[in-house]
Chains A and B, each alone.
Chain A
Amino acid sequence: MISEERKVLCRVLADTIREASQAGQLLGKDELSVNLRAHCPLGDDEQVFPEMDGLLAETLGMHHDLAALESISGRTLYHAPALLSRTYAAILDRRAPPVTLIAEEVRKNSLEYPRPVPLDLFEESPFDLTPDQIEAGLKTMGGSLEFQDITYTTTNTGAVYLFSSRYLERGYAAFLAERADTGLLLNP
């Protein structure tokens, strides 16, 4: 049986996670702990303050609109999927460093859809990378064996599309890039 006091704390945590998701942010235990201390009457006495892992587990058990995500950093992050989807959360989680974000997104698209992705996609939300960050990321990839499968094709309009040679053949990637760049637009 969860005490009324813990239920209140869970509700505060749930509202915090929802507000963060609404704002496009993922929160981990540390951030949630700081927030909870600021908004609950328990003060900052470690002896009095509830153990966060247990409290977060209870929060997820009570509020089924919330979910946890295992970050690539190993941390557990929390979000409300209806407000910030799992796919969006995974992109946010990979944002730093940009090279990992770009490579993983390119590989995922090449494998699953399959489709190459336009380079300028990474300047848009939720990636929000600057042209300098993208350029630096591509340079890093170019010099790394880990990312040697990440390559590109250029369409007739000059648009650059990235793809993973691990999952897409060059010729097929070029076909799909042309289709995405102008084919769909000219064929409504």
Chain B
Amino acid sequence: MADDLGVWCNYGQLQRDLLKLYYDGTLKTKIGSDEYASIPWDKYENGDSAFLFEIIPRIAMRQGELGHALGLGTGWLLARWCIPEEAWTQDFATAYWKLGHPKHHANEDDGQCGVIINTQYNRDAQCHSHVNFVRNGLPLAVQKKLADETWGSADAVDGTGDYSPMNIHKARRARWALVRKELHDSLGLCNWMGPWVASPLKERHYSGDDSLESKFFSLATGQQMSREELDQVGERIFVMHRALTIRDMGDNDMRAKHDLMPSWIYQDPNGAQPFTKGTIRMDPQDMAKAMEMFYEVMGWDKATGAPTAEAYSRLGLQSVAKELAARKLLPGGEK
């Protein structure tokens, strides 16, 4: 019904928003007692699915203050009702990340790699490169063997919910995941399936083919491209995206103003400590280190998280560096 009525969802964010607003009492204060009383909350409390036939049309048709506000999406909802974003970013149950969108395969799936990836966009990261690997269903020892072959160390991957402190190999895997995601988007390949580092075949020792994208590209176009060459194209796209964000924000301090992570990632509902089994709680100092390592493997400025003139130049983007320099948006330049 929600689909038929064109109601947004964003991976359950609408539902989580409604629950939070209901349970913390905000809803009651914001929509007025008459409208609040017109909603059959008893059906919700009793688990009666008929509640959905009452609530979803209100949102779809923008009926009343509730329908209007919830129909806006989380970002505009918070603005409309003057709710500070921190109320969401501090609440583990919201799964909210930043700028109106929820997490998408962050620490709940892949520890530091997932968090890094979720910081890199000003919308849902929609990256599955990393999670396709950790969810591939292979035994952990096999995943670690493949990680060693692909990213230089078995320590590049942890068991889900059994995270170890940050290391440079995880940063390399995060970089790989992002670059491949950009490539997939540009090549029309499915990032919900690839990359193909793993194989289900025992005779291949469960090794996939990390160069499939470049092989597909070479076959389809006749233009021979190695894995490394095509990865550089993906990196160029990603860095161009970064440059556009810097230009449009008018600020190159991406680390402090863009690459944000919600504070709920440093919480555990049961009080478990970071790096203990069965928690996705991260450690603030470790995540600071993770971001620095990621900037390092990208060749970016560690202080700001902005690509350096050298990073642009290495990718053939000297003109981009020149334009950003003119706007004093390169690292080290005054804004």
Query: Taking beta carbons and an 8 Å cutoff, which residues of A are in contact with B?
Result: 81, 85-86, 112-114, 169, 171-172, 174-176, 179, 183-184, 186-188
Contact = CB atoms under 8 A, between A and B. Distances in A.
A112 B11 contact: no
Contact of A187 (B11, B161, B272, B278): B11
A85 B202 contact: yes
Contacts of A171: 272, 277-278
Interface of B: 11-12, 105, 108-109, 135, 137, 139-141, 159-162, 202, 272, 277-279
A34 B11 CA distance: 59
Nearest to A168: B277
Contacts of B108: 179, 183, 187
A112 B12 contact: no
Given A169-B277, A171-B278, A187-B108, A176 B161 contact: yes
Contacts of B135: 184
A85 B202 CA distance: 9
Contacts of B272: 171
A176 B139 CA distance: 14
A183 B106 CA distance: 13
Given A86-B202, A183-B108, 20 more contacts: A85-B202, A112-B140, A113-B139, A114-B140, A114-B159, A169-B278, A171-B272, A171-B277, A172-B161, A172-B277, A174-B278, A175-B161, A175-B277, A175-B278, A175-B279, A176-B161, A176-B278, A179-B108, A186-B12, A187-B11
A179 B279 CA distance: 11
A113 B162 CA distance: 12
Say whether chain B's binding surface is mostly helix, strand, loop, or mixed: loop
A90 B31 CA distance: 61
Contacts of A86: 202
A171 B272 CA distance: 10
B83 to A, nearest CB: 24
Contacts of A172: 161-162, 277-278
A175 B276 CA distance: 12
15 contacts: A81-B202, A86-B202, A113-B139, A114-B159, A169-B277, A171-B278, A172-B161, A172-B278, A175-B161, A176-B161, A179-B160, A179-B161, A183-B108, A186-B11, A186-B12
Identify which of B11, B108, B159, B277 gathers the most chain A CB atoms within 10 Å of its CB.
B277
Contacts of A85: 202
Contacts of A81: 202
Identify which of B12, B105, B139, B278 gathers the most chain A CB atoms within 10 Å of its CB.
B278
B312 to A, nearest CB: 35
A164 to B, nearest CB: 15
Contacts of B279: 175
A3 B266 CA distance: 72
A114 B109 CA distance: 15
B140 A113 contact: yes
Nearest to B11: A187
Nearest to A86: B202
A134 to B, nearest CB: 23
A77 to B, nearest CB: 18
A144 B272 CA distance: 33
Nearest to B200: A85
A85 B279 CA distance: 35
A166 to B, nearest CB: 15
Nearest to A113: B139
B196 to A, nearest CB: 19
Contacts of B12: 186
Nearest to A111: B139
B139 A112 contact: yes
Nearest to B128: A188
Contacts of B202: 81, 85-86
B109 A187 contact: yes
Nearest to A176: B161
Contacts of A112: 139-141
A174 to B, nearest CB: 7
Nearest to B280: A175
B140 to A, nearest CB: 6
